[in-house]
Structure 1
């Protein structure tokens, strides 16, 4: 991916830095802002801190373990990527980082160019995952509709002694006459069949 594309992804990107303010982080924030990022700061971390950002960069500090886990869970629900900053020589921090299950991790001190690359990768990955989720939801919806129509056709074939083609044409005719969707016609047929079954029982 070229530099122009990377800069385009970063331009306007809301990045929340969950990190104590110091000279290094201020310098990194300034460099990211120069690339077009909109920088927010959130510190100290609390259990109710859920930044409204596109990407969250968090310092892994075991003193804030409950708040970090709560933040990680909240971000996963919103499909917001998390980048963890960790001291790789701190075994407790490494264990906590694994619990957080971030999309990316980086060693401290922060390197602005490495962080920009990670931000770009996280945004690209999140966009791809959202697209895949949308495709999966659409596929599940189509499968659900297909199953419902097939069930309605089987009921018509059984009750009216029709072949599959005739049952399908009848569904379409009913939908046109009632000015509704095939799914609504199928729902009505299935509901009527269930009601008749209950009455017979």
Structure 2
């Protein structure tokens, strides 16, 4: 038995929100909370930890996008936004703020499930890309500091690159540290001060 997808619903029209909430529950989703505005959205996401946030607001504004950007930064969560407001510039801003799926023409029963699937798939894809980019950046940073340390060792000890690399490896093994940690220490101690 799979756990139902948990949803935080933000809808500024109570009649529509009640209908959508009813449809979500009937379709097997778990409705964690229903908000009438985006005020306190950050707190609500932190409190409930939903699998996805569904937002249907007649006129979403910069405040909601700022809240979503903060959520995306600190507590990444898939977001599907439904709105009558289109406009390439606003949609672009929404996506930059962390909206995984943006649907123009508002929320309707037949659009909910596909929007949830799209938003969650886009979110997973984006998070995978983000993690991959972070790993690549970390590897580049590590390579830079190791190369810098090798260069300093080569200059200080008048040795070749192979010997400098072997020195780093030996120091790392002897101190039960990573090559990066040893390289950072060497750079900190051997690099001449910047004037």
TM-score clears 0.5: yes
Which one of 121, 124, 131 corresponds to residue 124 of structure 1?
A: 121
Identify unmatched segments of 5+ residues in structure 1.
1-7, 88-92
Displacement of 1:148 in angstroms is 0.7
Displacement of 1:183 in angstroms is 1.4
Which one of 61, 69, 74 corresponds to residue 73 of structure 1?
A: 69
Displacement of 1:185 in angstroms is 1.4
Matches within 5 A, 1:10-21: 11-19=3-11, 20-21=13-14
Matches within 5 A, 1:160-199: 160-194=157-191, 197-198=192-193
Q: Quick one: structure 1 residues 29 and 174, their matched pair in 2 at CA, closer, same or farther if it must change by over 3 Å? A: same
Taking the aligned partners of 2:104 and 2:86, their CA distance within structure 1 comes to: 11
Identify unmatched segments of 5+ residues in structure 2.
none
Displacement of 1:46 in angstroms is 5.3
User: What is the TM-score normalised by the length of structure 1?
Assistant: 0.76
Query: Once the two structures are superposed, what CA deviation does each residue of 1:41-95 show, in whole Å capped at 9, x if it has no partner?
Result: 001x253333323322223334x746434433334333333333333xxxxx445
Runs of 4+ that moved beyond 6 A: none
**Backbone CA RMSD of aligned residues:** 2.6
8 A Cα contact 2:10 2:38, kept in partner: no
Q: How many residues align?
A: 180
8 A Cα contact 1:85 1:105, kept in partner: yes
Taking the aligned partners of 1:191 and 1:38, their CA distance within structure 2 comes to: 53
1:151 aligns with 2:148: yes
1:42 aligns with 2:35: yes
Query: Once the two structures are superposed, what CA deviation does each residue of 1:115-172 show, in whole Å capped at 9, x if it has no partner?
Result: 1101101001101111111111111111111111111111111111111111111111
8 A Cα contact 1:83 1:106, kept in partner: no
Taking the aligned partners of 1:13 and 1:66, their CA distance within structure 2 comes to: 28
